[in-house]
Amino acid sequence: MKYKIIGSLMFLYGLMLEGETCKIAFRLDDIQDFWLGEAQRQVIDKFVTYDVPLTIGVIANFFGSDPQIVSYLQNVTTNYPIEVAEHGWNHEDFTHYSYSEQYNKLNQSRFRIRQSLPQADLVTFIPPFNAFNAETLSAMSDLGYTHLSSSVGIDSGPFSNTKPIYHYPVGASTDSFNNNPVGVPASRTLEQIQTQIQTYGWSVVMLHPQEFNNNTTMLFELSILLEQVRTLGCSLCLLRYMHLPPDIFPEGPFPCVSTSGQSTQTGTTGSTGLTGLTGTTGSTGSTGSTGSTGLTGLTGTIGSTGSTGLTGTTGSTGTGKGTTGTKGTRVGVTLAGASTIRPDEESSANVVEAPLRWIVLVMLYLYFFM
Ligand SMILES: [Zn+2]
């Protein structure tokens, strides 16, 4: 009898894991004219390069007069999975305004942005300061906006996430998350992503151009982050598609990008191959550990910088990545050590699944034949 109960429970748990999917969206706030234009473009270019969907929040009244950023956005939002979202008329706190004032701001913002980006669908609203209230939701709904992205500190759920307004608040960031846009290592952002996924089943990551301005280290960290999210086994989506089941093809041109958690375990995919490179320079990684500098370990390819301790604080990420490489290419061994992102944390569901299936099979055998 006890076998029957245990077997049934294990089987149900197995089914639960089989059906599990996670989603990740990125949003870049404060897009506007004549302001950190190079940083804005550099960040967006990274997402294009790594084929990761990105939603950009445009401040409507500060946009449309800078030919450089306008023509750049006309190109990338047409040809790549870059979604244009609204981020206020003057970057104002919407909770200070009545329903009709909020309605007018949303409406004129959409009109203004479409003057420069006529193809922009504009169904997502990123409220400035992440602040919104019931009137915001009503005005959005009445204007046909469908997606709101605040932050988990303000909008913590639980959400039914059904029409008319879907809530996808930010729970991770590339900055220090205290209104002080100083960049943080990719490892920290990844931890926040994984924490939010554990709670919500999905994660939204916030970026600002400020933390990447004249900052090659942070641009490099962004590359690491975009490589690493491809190993988590989650779908990467525009905010506007976060609510869709994985098998539903959206009406728009850029569906979610599915990534394989398998790559984390087996190293058979291209992205893990890159990790393999890390492994080869793993010996430098040990240098990293000396000076709490591990950036070295992190990227292998620039292992030589390890001795310089260039960006030491990010070492932990690198080590995690090196570990991944090990399995793929059998060369990352030397990167062992102070890993804060263990492989089992990177895609726990996938790691658990294989042995679990065997346990379920054994339990079923006991159930039927004992
Ligand atoms: Zn903003």
Nearest alpha-carbon partner for 181 in 298, 64, 35? 35
Q: How far is the CA of 63 from the centre of ligand 1 (A)?
A: 14
Map tokens 């004219």 to a residue. 33
How does 28-38 read in b/e, with b if 16+ C-beta sit within 10 Å?
Answer: bbbbbbebbbe
Map tokens 């490099």 to a residue. 220
Q: How far is the CA of 129 from the centre of ligand 1 (A)?
A: 6
Residue 158 preceded by cis peptide, ω within 30 = yes
Q: Which of 10-19, 81-90, 238-247, 286-295 has the highest mean pLDDT?
A: 81-90
Contact 233, 261 (CB under 8 A): yes
Encoded tokens for 70? 């306008």
The mean-pLDDT minimum among 120-124, 143-147, 158-162, 245-249 falls in: 245-249
Q: How confident is the model at residue 246 (pLDDT cuts 50, 70, 90)?
A: low
pLDDT for position 363 = 53
Q: How far is the CA of 27 from the centre of ligand 1 (A)?
A: 11
Q: How far is the CA of 59 from the centre of ligand 1 (A)?
A: 8
For the segment 199-203, the average pLDDT, to the nearest whole number, is 95
pLDDT for position 136 = 97
pLDDT for position 179 = 67
Whole-model pTM over 0.85: no
Higher pLDDT, 73 or 358: 73
Measured CA to CA, the distance from residue 269 to residue 254 in angstroms comes to 22
The mean-pLDDT minimum among 218-222, 255-259, 340-344, 363-367 falls in: 340-344
How many angstroms separate the Cα of 212 from the Cα of each of 44, 117, 154, 183? 11, 25, 25, 7
Nearest alpha-carbon partner for 207 in 230, 241, 184, 233? 184
Q: How far is the CA of 272 from the centre of ligand 1 (A)?
A: 34
Measured CA to CA, the distance from residue 92 to residue 86 in angstroms comes to 12
Model pLDDT for residues 22-68, shown as the tens digit of each residue: 999 999 999 999 999 999 999 999 999 999 999 999 999 999 999 99
Q: How far is the CA of 128 from the centre of ligand 1 (A)?
A: 5
How many angstroms separate the Cα of 295 from the Cα of each of 190, 204, 225, 245, 282? 15, 25, 13, 37, 11
Contact 262, 323 (CB under 8 A): no
